[in-house]
Chains A and B, each alone.
Chain A
Amino acid sequence: MPSLQHVVKDLLASGAVEVVIGYEKAPGQNRTRPFFARTPEDADRLVFDFSALNNLAVYLTRQKRPAKGKIGIVAKGCDARAITMLMQEQQLTRDDVHVIGMECSGVTAEMGADLSKDTLAAKCVTCKVQTPPLADTLVEGPKDYERPDDRNGARMRELEAMTPEQRFAFWAGEFDRCVRCYACRQACPMCYCEQCVAEKNQPQWIETSATLRGNIAWNVIRAFHLGGRCVGCNECERACPADIPLGLLNRKLGMVAGQEFGYAAGMDASAPTLVGTWDKSDRQEYIK
């Protein structure tokens, strides 16, 4: 069973890839940071454990890619789903990447914390992809972990029980804190547009100042743009300095995609995308 470092060393030494995107130890306890390994020696710096929280697939989007040639990437299940989705949306071809799939037993919600039932990231609570659905090389590892109650699931049911007015008031309260830093967009592997609709100013569809109206427009449009595409890596919520529970919004849209169309984003690179694909068997009762 080859280790991550061995796999990467071979890939870089043989010239199969130009760079491997992975994690290295960062200063402080239980912290990692993204690292681009470009030489076989760099491979020794790579680590993977419960603190490997980032979704590195964001570095595969065209404008952030660290190399022109083939890229290796260390990917947990959720990261691999994002890579798959990028393939489904023609942002990557299968030959552009060598995916080093990491079996995963959950990551911590906060950098620095030890992994426990209480610190487990929200996305890991309901995660079904401990083994990545897409991998050129699979690095086996522990896959079992203790899962706490689905706190967000309970919260979702509370929101669903609200009247539309109450729900709108809830989200208006959350979005009111948004400072329009666009960290959510920068962290998101699915936000690869070269010019975001938020930056379009002829005409300007979304108010750019951090006022409630523009904030609602921005966050709702972003959520809709992720409908049927979000793989649930929750990087947006993690990056948000205002603690807006964006993951809830995305999870709800993902649930609708699953319930209405039996669709889960990023599970199969050859599957059609949910949006933009018409099927005769689509339920159409919303067309009145």
Chain B
Amino acid sequence: MKIGVFICYCGENIGRTVDCAAVAQACASIPGVAVSVDYKYMCSDPGQNLIINAIREHRLDGVVVGSCSPHMHEKTFRKACSNAGLNPFMFEMANLREHCSWIHDDIAVGTAKSIDLVRIAVEKVKRNEPLTPIRVPVTKRALVIGGGISGIQAALDIAGAGFQVVLVEKEPSIGGHMSQLSETFPTLDCSQCILTPRMVEVYQHPNITLMSYSEVEKVEGFIGNFSVTIRRKARSVRADLCTGCGDCVQKCPIKKKAYSEFEEGLAFRPAMYVPFPQAVPNIPVIDRAVCTYYKTGKCQACVKACGRGAIDFEQQDEFVTEAVGAIVVATGYKLYTIDKKPDDSQYKGYGEYGYGVYKDVIDGLQFERLASASGPTGGEIRRPSDKAVPKKIVFIQCVGSRDESKGFSYCSKICCMYTAKHAMLYKHKVHEGEAYVFYMDIRSGGKGYEEFVRRAIEEDHVKYIRGRVSRIYEKDGKYIVRGEDTIAGMQVEIDADMVVLATAMVPQPESAVLAQKLGIAYDNHGYFVEVHPKLRPVECSTGGIFLAGACHSPRDIPESVSMASAAAAKALVLFGSDVLEREPVVAKVNESTCAGCFYCQKVCAYNAVERREIRDRAGNLRKVVAYVNEGLCQGCGTCNATCPSKSVELIGFTDEQLYAEIHALA
């Protein structure tokens, strides 16, 4: 074998603590090395040409570059090798920078270690084999999970580029939390006015298949080739017959047994319901838990009301399987509900703030409904208990956020802004009213955000008090909010008529379950985790799955929409090619020695290990062995380490190669 060794100075980075010329000279005498040179910047054009020319001139069949880390320039040098006609996998990199020069001061130590590192790489390259990238076909269809604003945006972007999208939403209608909001900061546009056209666009788009009231049941496959099973929950109404006239909803006699999810428990909804008037699709659902028919079999008011015969009490959940190449996860958030127990009442618990005990201590989303023209009060700010207009209102920020002792370490990010908006909306609607905000800091980074908060303070005269509230209690029909004003350095007590808590944003409660189905990472709060916080912020470590919106971290609407478009763009990049090329660094099973214990299958984090039957010529089953799906395998090597008979090898990092590397040091 003829191997070329190329030692890079990386300017001063390596050259300062490694005598590169001496390393090149020493490495020339390693058996198998045909040429060994040093150069100031090996990654530069002349540096690469040095490699290319040496490969041609000396007919090299292996190349070792001693330079920075593979993360930096492995691609560069592989490309140089293949430009010269050498298989790029006959190239190895010795990390003389991060692993050597940067961590040593002594030039003698650094030089000796560099020679060792190069020798190790030379021994490895001697055992390398030419490899070809794995090519997998791409199914150019996308699945979007979650029909809030993020999911809607991602679906519209992908569909707009001409690809099919399946949009799955667990609620009866798409729209998500944005459909519940009254007006949006910092421009005070009406939320529904800007959202509903997008919802309709989704419904009418020829490239989008909308599956509302549906959930992801199972995900199989890998990037470019997912197979997703979706549970279409039984609405008890046939979507193909229903015209959305609403007669059944009108006639449903069970009006006051279930709180409206859309109204955040501030109003009732019938057993037969559409979440809100602009729902998409406008097809009702029967809540089987409260419907009289499902309890006693007696009432059939909706059946009588329906002129289309669309009511189907016997409807069962259906399962459909969709083949997609990319998945956008946009499952959004919920508000943190400390001790709020929904069993017998929507209002119970929440310790010292009386949330769930006092009817007029509500959360941010409930206030949105009170402020919304489509809400239970028709947009008038009236407190839940006696429908009176509150003359004094207190907003408390950071309830659960930035508070590890009772809630979460993180900042929920949107609360400063929506609290300013709430206070402003209140002042616009109740001119003589007084609004107080208890805050820790005001975090208003964003275009027009700081100006918006200043407007609330300066023009609308919202009184901001920096400090925490210790307790809220009821006295003579008032809610006494006792807190601290840390700027004035004194205790304050406000006798409020109503209190709004800006409770923390949390991921959907089933997010961990979904993450496990998808095989993606999630943090200790249940937020999904990206591959790289800066450079790959919307990609999951599992290829082909992208993140959008508040399922990743607390985000407001503009950020969610941008992230959704970014996720859509990533999916479209994937759809830009017919086949995917992947590194051939995957595990391979030696079927003749595999005993089929399937420990490898148990430890595989990517579900890449499958079972393959080995039959003799007569067709009799001889044994079942493990088989690695190259499309799914991420090359982590866990199976390789687990196999008791060493029947799994990681291509490119075989035991033989690693053993030779270790042996090179002995």
Contact = CB atoms under 8 A, between A and B. Distances in A.
Interface of A: 62, 68, 89-91, 192-197, 200, 202-203, 205, 225, 272-273, 275-278
Nearest to B622: A62
Contacts of B647: 195
B436 to A, nearest CB: 43
Contacts of B642: 275-276
B644 interface: yes
A62 B623 contact: yes
B645 A196 contact: yes
A197 B644 contact: yes
6 contacts: A193-B593, A195-B645, A197-B644, A202-B656, A276-B602, A276-B603
Nearest to B597: A89
A89 B595 CA distance: 10
A277 B596 CA distance: 16
Given A90-B624, A203-B659, A193 B645 contact: yes
Contacts of A275: 599, 642
A225 B645 CA distance: 10
B665 to A, nearest CB: 14
Contact of B599 (A194, A205, A276): A276
B558 to A, nearest CB: 37
Contacts of A90: 596-598, 624
Given A90-B598, A91-B596, A197-B645, 16 more contacts: A62-B596, A89-B598, A89-B599, A90-B597, A91-B597, A194-B594, A195-B645, A196-B645, A197-B646, A200-B645, A202-B655, A203-B660, A272-B602, A275-B642, A276-B642, A277-B602
Contacts of B656: 202-203
Category for how many chain B residues contact A: 20 to 34
A273 B599 contact: yes
Contact of A194 (B595, B620, B624): B595
Interface string B563-607: 000000000000000000000000000001111111100110000
A68 B622 CA distance: 9
B595 A193 contact: yes
Contacts of B646: 197, 200, 205
Nearest to B605: A278
B602 A192 contact: no
Contacts of A202: 655-656
Nearest to B603: A276
B464 to A, nearest CB: 43
Contacts of A225: 644
A51 to B, nearest CB: 32
Interface of B: 592-599, 602-603, 620, 623-624, 642, 644-647, 655-656, 659-660
A62 B645 contact: no
A211 to B, nearest CB: 18
Nearest to B599: A276
A194 B593 contact: yes
Contact of B595 (A62, A200, A205, A277): A62
Contacts of B659: 203
Contacts of B644: 193, 197, 225
A280 B632 CA distance: 24
Contacts of B602: 272-273, 276-277
A230 to B, nearest CB: 13
Leading 9 A-B pairs by shortest Cβ distance: A203-B659, A276-B602, A195-B593, A193-B645, A276-B599, A89-B597, A193-B595, A194-B595, A225-B644
A177 B660 CA distance: 31
A147 B343 CA distance: 57
Contacts of A196: 645
A197 B641 CA distance: 12
A251 to B, nearest CB: 20
Contacts of B624: 90
A89 B644 CA distance: 12
Nearest to B657: A203
Contacts of A278: 603
A168 to B, nearest CB: 23
A159 B387 CA distance: 77
A203 B655 contact: yes
A277 B601 CA distance: 10
A278 B638 CA distance: 13
A208 to B, nearest CB: 15
Q: Which residue, of A62, A195, A200, A277, has the highest number of chain B Cβ atoms within 10 A? A: A195
Given A205-B646, A273-B602, A276-B642, A194 B597 contact: no
B658 to A, nearest CB: 8
Given A193-B644, A202-B656, A203-B655, A91 B599 contact: no
Contacts of A200: 645-646
A169 to B, nearest CB: 26
Contacts of B655: 202-203, 205
A273 B644 CA distance: 14
A192 B597 CA distance: 9
B195 to A, nearest CB: 39
Contacts of B660: 203
A259 B585 CA distance: 39
A194 B592 contact: yes
B656 to A, nearest CB: 5
Contacts of A205: 646, 655
A68 B620 contact: yes
A18 to B, nearest CB: 14
Nearest to A62: B623
B645 A91 contact: no
A194 B594 CA distance: 7
Nearest to A196: B645
A263 B129 CA distance: 43
A162 B16 CA distance: 51
B58 to A, nearest CB: 29
Contacts of A89: 597-599
A198 B620 CA distance: 30
A87 to B, nearest CB: 12
Nearest to B602: A276
B646 to A, nearest CB: 5
Nearest to B621: A68
